[in-house]
């Protein structure tokens, strides 16, 4: 792939993730009163980490199996890539993040069950306690505004690496070529 085409793909990935995905999260956080979407904001944050981690990790953990009827089945190993992205980027923003706990007790439970594990995470807004500190029940407090800010910084650091690290860029382009990203058509 020529460098120009590769950079066009990288620009499309960044634009979609920054403008649409992060933009939607920011807008959902800003809603107040009866229109608030705080749980939805947390769900979008976990989905965002999933998406970025796929571009970051690329095909390294993708396993392709052929079933009897020749149907292609993909094994994405979402946990491994989610944890790796959090270790490599989110923990550098705040080393109190527990990447495995974020995946197992936050991401999996909120996305699939709209619930949380017993005493794992408590979700809140600024003013309801200290981000990533244990509350009275022993749950780790996630504040949506701070969580979003940290994810945004982690994302921007990854974007910087996209331009500086050939392997990270290759991973993103390979993933894009197999799984296109959502883009809005004007």
User: What is the pLDDT averaged over residues 160-178?
Assistant: 94
Instruction: Read off the pLDDT of residues 8-53 as tens digits, 9 standing for 90 and up.
Output: 999 999 999 999 999 999 999 998 777 788 899 999 999 999 999 9
* pLDDT score at 34: 74
Residue 61 clears pLDDT 60, i.e. is over it: no
* pLDDT score at 64: 63
Give the dihedral sign, CA 21/22/27/33. Answer: positive
SS3 call for 136 = coil
* Cα maximum dimension of the chain: 56
Q: Which parts of the chain fold into alpha helices (H)?
A: 3-15, 23-30, 38-57, 78-85, 91-93, 99-101, 108-113, 144-164, 166-178
User: What is the pLDDT averaged over residues 91-102?
Assistant: 96
**How far is Cα of residue 131 from the mean position of the Cα atoms in its chain?**
18
DSSP readout, 22-52?
Answer: IHHHHHHHH--GGG--HHHHHHHHHHHHHHH
* pLDDT score at 183: 78
The percentage of the chain sitting over the pLDDT mark of 70, rounded to a whole number, equals 90
Report the mean per-residue pLDDT for the chain: 88
* pLDDT score at 66: 61
Residue 35, C-beta contacts closer than 8 angstroms, at least 6 positions apart: none
SS3 call for 84 = helix
117 pLDDT band, cuts 50/70/90, is confident
Residue 68 clears pLDDT 90, i.e. is over it: no
Instruction: Read off the pLDDT of residues 151-161 as tens digits, 9 standing for 90 and up.
Output: 999 999 999 99
137 pLDDT band, cuts 50/70/90, is confident
116 pLDDT band, cuts 50/70/90, is confident
Q: Where are the domains of the chain?
A: 3-178
């Amino acid at each position: 792939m020529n460098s120009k085409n590769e950079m066009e793909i990288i620009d499309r990935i960044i634009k979609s993730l920054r403008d649409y995905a992060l933009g939607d999260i920011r807008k959902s956080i800003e809603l107040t009163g009866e229109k608030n979407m705080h749980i939805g904001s947390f769900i979008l944050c976990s989905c965002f980490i999933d998406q970025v981690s796929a571009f970051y990790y690329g095909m390294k953990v993708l396993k392709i199996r052929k079933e009897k009827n020749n149907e292609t089945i993909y094994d994405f190993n979402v946990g491994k890539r989610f944890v790796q992205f959090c270790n490599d980027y989110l923990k550098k923003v705040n080393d109190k993040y527990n990447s495995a706990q974020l995946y197992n007790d936050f991401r999996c439970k909120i996305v699939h069950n709209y619930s949380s594990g017993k005493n794992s995470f408590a979700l809140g807004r600024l003013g309801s306690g200290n981000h990533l500190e244990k509350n009275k029940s022993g749950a780790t407090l996630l504040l949506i505004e701070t969580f979003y800010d940290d994810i945004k910084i982690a994302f921007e650091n990854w974007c910087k690496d996209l331009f500086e690290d050939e392997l990270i860029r290759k991973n993103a382009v390979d993933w894009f070529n197999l799984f296109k990203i959502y883009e809005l058509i004007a």
